[in-house]
């Protein structure tokens, strides 16, 4: 894809992919509810984990969220998509649980310099070298990434790389790149500025890219 023609997710508004689920849920269809839970449970947990201290507490927050969804489904107004509504319930519950744990809300304090650069300075030439700021260790081209990333082994590596990210980066990466929420939705949900949201997303992508690069450099 030539530069500048990349899709711009925030300008594209997909219809609610879960609309059919909503009708079924309101009709009391248990398999629709099971499908909804199966589809979003782990994602919700990853987002909750950015606000609370342990996986066990995050799991409780997610289960509370589902109970609130059950209680509220008949009154849900469809001003947002079903998915966005569920995520808002989750974030509210996770935030108040985090406050009770006296955990500082992690998103508030992030800025561009907190966590070092997306790509380590060691990869670039230093002042005094021939081309300061240019690649010293350039990215090696990936051979046929789509095909290689289909293997079970690659998927497992990818899952590990995501799981190893700091909680906040996992939350933003999951919402943007796994769930496909657009930038304004994620900013509204996590109360992030547009700039911070993108810095966090980019750091997450850059770390996962570095892990995948190591994978691609291993003999196939």
Partner 1 sequence: MSFDEIVCREFAELATDYLDGALPDATLELVEEHLAMCDWCRDYLGQIEATAAAVSHTPAAAPAPETLQALVAAFRDRPKEDRP
Which residues of the shown chain bind partner 1 in the complex (CB under 8 A)?
Answer: 1, 3-4, 6, 8-11, 26, 28, 30, 33-34, 37-38, 41-43, 45-46, 59, 63, 66-67, 70-71, 74-75, 112, 117-119, 121, 123-124, 131-135, 138-142, 145-146, 149, 154-155, 158-159, 162, 173-174, 177-178, 180, 183, 194, 198, 201-202, 205-206, 208-209, 212-213
Structure tokens at 187: 């900013």
Judged on CB neighbours under 10 Å (0-12, 13-18, 19+), 203 is buried
Nearer to partner 1, 52 or 212 (CB): 212
Would you tell me how many other CB atoms lie within 10 Å of the CB of residue 88?
Answer: 15
For the CB of residue 104, give the shortest distance to partner 1 in the complex, in Å. 26
For the CB of residue 190, give the shortest distance to partner 1 in the complex, in Å. 16
**Which stretches within the chain are classed as H helix?**
19-26, 30-48, 55-72, 82-100, 145-148, 152-163, 167-173, 183-190, 194-217
Nearer to partner 1, 17 or 213 (CB): 213
For the CB of residue 81, give the shortest distance to partner 1 in the complex, in Å. 17
Structure tokens at 109: 């304090």
């Amino acid at each position: 894809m030539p530069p500048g023609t990349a899709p711009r997710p925030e300008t594209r508004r997909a219809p609610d992919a879960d609309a059919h689920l909503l009708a079924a849920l309101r009709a009391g269809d248990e398999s629709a509810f099971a499908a909804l839970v199966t589809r979003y449970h782990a994602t919700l947990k990853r987002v909750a984990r950015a606000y609370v201290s342990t996986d066990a507490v995050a799991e409780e927050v997610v289960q509370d969220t589902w109970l609130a969804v059950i209680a509220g489904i008949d009154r849900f107004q469809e001003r947002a998509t079903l998915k966005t509504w569920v995520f808002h319930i989750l974030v509210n519950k996770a935030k108040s649980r985090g406050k009770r744990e006296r955990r500082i809300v992690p998103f508030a304090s992030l800025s561009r310099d907190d966590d070092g650069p997306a790509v380590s300075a060691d990869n670039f030439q230093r002042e005094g070298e021939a081309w300061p700021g240019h690649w010293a260790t350039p990215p090696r081209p990936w051979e046929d990434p789509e095909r290689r990333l289909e293997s079970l082994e690659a998927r497992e590596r990818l899952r590990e790389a995501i799981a190893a990210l700091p909680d906040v980066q996992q939350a933003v990466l999951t919402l943007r790149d796994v769930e496909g929420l657009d930038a304004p939705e994620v900013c509204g949900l996590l109360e992030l500025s547009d700039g911070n949201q993108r810095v966090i997303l980019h750091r997450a992508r850059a770390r996962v890219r570095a892990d995948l690069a190591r994978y691609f450099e291993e003999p196939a």
